[in-house]
A = this chain, B = another copy of it.
Amino acid sequence: MVRSSPLDQQAIKRQNRRLILEALQRQGPLSRAELAREVGLTKSTVSALVQEMLEEGLLGEGRLHNPGLGRPGTRLEFRSENALALGVDLGVDDTQVIVLDLNRQIQAVWEWVESPSTSLSERLFKLARQVQNQLPHYPRLLGIGLAIPGVVKQQELLYAPGLGWRKERPAETLSNLLHLPVALENNANAAALGETFWGENHSPLLFIMLTTGLGTGLVVEEQVYRGRHGAAGELGHWLLGSQPRHHPPSVVEHQLSLRAIVGHYQSQSGRSEGFRGLLEHASRGDRPALEALEELAYRLGCFIANAAVAYDPAVVVLGGPGAEAWPWLEAPLRAALKEQAFIPEHAELPIRPSAFGHLAPAMGAAALVLQRFLANGGTRDWSPPISTLGTRPTIGGSKSRRKRYA
């Protein structure tokens, strides 16, 4: 159990800095007076805290804005060069990297394909080189978020079936390469966080990642729900009904996944193309393709009805390549859900495709870093620099408490 610690005045300050920073992140540039109204602090307190953050280089003052009566306010915004995070999505056969700042600006997107045989460390080396070459100021990054399709428990990758990795510590490796804090997360969990962090914060939010396989991520009150072993939400492994005893279990993923639906399509149509081809045919009105998508929608609807009973989400977001079929899925999926919903609210459950397309996990990975940074009131000490581990004098202990805001 995590025992919460006593509060001191530093904690007040950190929390109030956090509120200010989160307001700026959510609502864009604001003046001191607007901030004061927004977060419920006095103008004097906001002034003092903002003053510090200006001196730290975290915020910058912009040109006046807000034309109207009275003295115009000073525009406060993040100095994006000091509020940058890297989001990385290590997919099964490609890598997405996105550089984001707290002003919601995408500074860069890099994508490349990977051969499935590439080892994890090779991929991390490649990533590190890319960062060093493309981002001359990369040491000023706040950190790196790493999304991987696998079970993650306390910064350790336990299993990544699609990639064939087990018991790896990629966060540690990457942190040592780039001397930056790295946060590791399951890709569906990351994507779910990204949706609430960058979009509207509905809670709970369920993200359904429809790829070759099937995975989900849940975010409750801005926190990723991981469960005890980081295995929560691996709903692709739900078992179908009561299993015949002593048989290998048949799981949802065998029915509901791109592999499953493409298999269904191929056996019905006699064609051998993949999901992309299926979509092409569907857009031309091809009967077997449309029928396959309708089947997918129906199965997805049943699945969402079950997930709704378990999690009772406020909103469901669909991601992964499967989300590209959304125009064909929407209507039959709704119909299936209406049929199967437990409470009437679930029949009307808001469902939408991710706003970030295939970049959703990378966006979420970046959000992971920025969220942590904000939660600490804009300090970088969320993770000790691994590079210097053991060479530094011990920090902490009641005597040598460090002053955090210089």
Binding site for B on A (CB under 8 A): 1-2, 4-9, 11-12, 15-16, 19, 39-41, 45, 151, 158-159, 201-204, 220-221, 225-235, 237-243, 245-246, 249, 255, 298-299, 302, 305-314, 339-340, 342-343, 345-346
Q: B2, A6: Cβ atoms under 8 Å?
A: no
Instruction: Say yes or no: A243-B312 contact (C-beta < 8 A), given A231-B343, A346-B231.
Output: no
Listed A/B pairs (7) with beta-carbon separation below 8 Å: A1-B203, A203-B228, A227-B311, A231-B312, A231-B345, A249-B339, A307-B310
- What residues of chain B lie closer than 8 Å to A230, measured between beta carbons? 312
Q: B233–A204 contact, CB under 8 A?
A: no
Residues A238 and B306 in contact, CB atoms below 8 Å apart:
yes
**In whole angstroms, how far apart are the Cα atoms of A330 and B313 in the complex?**
33
Q: How far is the CB of A203 from chain B (nearest CB, A)?
A: 7
Flag if A312 contacts B227 (CB, 8 Å): yes
Closest 7 CB pairs of A and B: A227-B312, A241-B241, A232-B312, A228-B314, A240-B241, A237-B342, A7-B12
Q: Check if A19 sits within 8 Å of B40, measured CB to CB.
A: no
A6 / chain B contacts, CB cutoff of 8 Å: 15-16, 19, 39-41, 45
- The CA-CA distance from A204 to B231 in the complex, in Å, is 12
Measured between beta carbons, the chain B residues less than 8 angstroms from A201 are: 1
Q: Which of B225, B255, B309 meets A238, CB within 8 Å?
A: B309
B302 touches A228 (CB 8 A): no
| Contact in complex: B298, A221 (CB < 8 Å) | no
A229 and B15 in contact (CB under 8 A), knowing A2-B221, A305-B239? no
Are B203 and A310 neighbours in the complex by a CB distance under 8 Å? no
| A342 and B246 form a contact (CB under 8 A) | no
Knowing A220-B225, A234-B309, A313-B227 are in contact, say whether A12-B9 is a contact too (CB < 8 A). Answer: yes
Determine if A242 and B240 form an interchain contact, defined as CB atoms under 8 angstroms apart.
yes
Task: Name the distance in Å between A340's Cβ and chain B's nearest Cβ.
Answer: 5
CB-based nearest B residue for A159:
B343
Q: Which residues of B have CB within 8 Å of A220?
A: 220, 225
- Closest B residue by C-beta to A38: B3
Contacts of A40 in B (CB 8 A): 5-6
- Besides A1-B203, A231-B345, 13 other A-B contacts (C-beta < 8 A): A4-B15, A12-B12, A228-B345, A231-B309, A231-B346, A232-B311, A233-B310, A235-B309, A237-B309, A238-B309, A243-B340, A245-B298, A245-B339
Nearest CB in chain B: distance from A34 CB, A: 15
- Distance of A192 from chain B, by nearest CB (Å): 14
Name the B residues within 8 Å of A313 (CB-CB).
227-228
Check B239–A340 contact: CB distance below 8 A: yes
Q: Which residues of B contact A4 (CB under 8 A)?
A: 15, 19
A249 contacts across to B, CB distance below 8 A:
305, 339-340
Contacts of A305 in B (CB 8 A): 239, 249
Contact of A204 among B221, B227, B314 (CB under 8 A): B227
In the complex, chain B residues whose CB is within 8 Å of the CB of A8: 12
**Nearest opposing residue in chain B for A232, CB measure:** B312
Judge whether B9 and A342 touch: CB under 8 Å: no
> Nearest Cβ in chain B — how far from A375, in angstroms?
11
Shortest beta-carbon distance from A348 to chain B in Å:
11
How many Å lie between the Cα of A172 and that of B159 in the bound state?
49
Are A243 and B309 within 8 A (Cβ)? no
Q: If A151-B343, A339-B246 touch, does A235 touch B11 (CB 8 Å cutoff)?
A: no
Considering residues A1, A221, A230, A255, which has the most beta carbons from chain B within 10 angstroms of its beta carbon?
A: A1
CA distance A298 to B16 in the complex (A): 52
CB-defined contacts of A203 to chain B, threshold 8 Å: 1, 228
Q: How far is the CA of A159 from the CA of B344 in the complex (A)?
A: 11
Q: Give A222 Cβ to nearest chain B Cβ, in Å.
A: 9
Q: In whole Å, how far is A49's beta carbon from the nearest beta carbon of chain B?
A: 10
Query: Which B-chain residue is minimally distant from A250 (CB atoms)?
Result: B241
